[in-house]
Amino acid sequence: MQANELIAEVLRSNVPIPTGDTPLAELEGWDSLKGVRLVLRLEEIVGRELSEDDIERLQSVSDVERLLKAV
3-state secondary structure of 9: helix
Spell out the domains of the chain, with CATH numbers in brackets: 3-69 (1.10.1200.10)
pLDDT for the residue numbered 60: 97
Q: What angle do CA 11, 36, 56 make, to 5 degrees?
A: 110
pLDDT (tens place) for every residue of the chain, 71 residues total: 899 999 999 999 998 999 899 999 999 999 999 999 999 999 999 999 999 999 999 999 999 999 999 87
Burial 22-50 (b: 16+ CB within 10 A, else e): eebeebeebeeebeeebeeebeeeeeeeb
pLDDT for the residue numbered 71: 77
Cα(10)–Cα(35) distance, rounded to whole angstroms? 9
Q: What is the pTM of this model?
A: 0.93
End-to-end alpha-carbon separation of the chain, Å? 11
